[in-house]
Amino acid sequence: MDPKQKHKRILTVLLAVGVACILAFIWGNSVLPGRVSSIISGFVTKLLGRGMTEYTVRKAGHFTEFLMLGASLGLFFTVKGTARKDKALHLCLLALFVPLMDETIQLFSDGRGPLVTDIWVDIAGYACGCVPVLAVAALVRWAWRKRKR
């Protein structure tokens, strides 16, 4: 196997493992009972200090988790070399599926329930992670092609 292909395969596997870990973290938090989730959010709120509310910490947590997921998936599909149309379709479907699954899991968690606002925050975080990665990748591809001419 070509060393370049070998490095690409290793990077793809590492990114896939990273995405799986992020998904486990996101969905693992959704499985927690409401009481435990509230304790964790309260602890983080105290750590961050004055001016932060538990509500703000929770929404920021949702946004940050999904920002990391969007960036990781954007990198994964870019490194994997997925065709542009397929990449866009996969990324859009995942942007909807993962938050919907996240909130659905909460239906089965003690003292929790799904929130449409969380889905919107999740999608916004996902887009803020994914779009810049794809834009930089497109810019690098464009510059590389231009350089080769």
Check residue 1 and give its pLDDT.
Answer: 75
Range among 17-21, 78-82, 136-140 with highest mean pLDDT value: 17-21
Q: What's this model's pTM, rounded to 2 decimal places?
A: 0.91
Check residue 110 and give its pLDDT.
Answer: 83
Q: What CA dihedral angle connects 87, 7, 147 and 83, to 10 degrees?
A: -20
CA distance linking residue 75 with residue 145, whole number of Å: 19
pLDDT tens-digit series, residues 87-110: 889 999 999 999 999 999 999 888
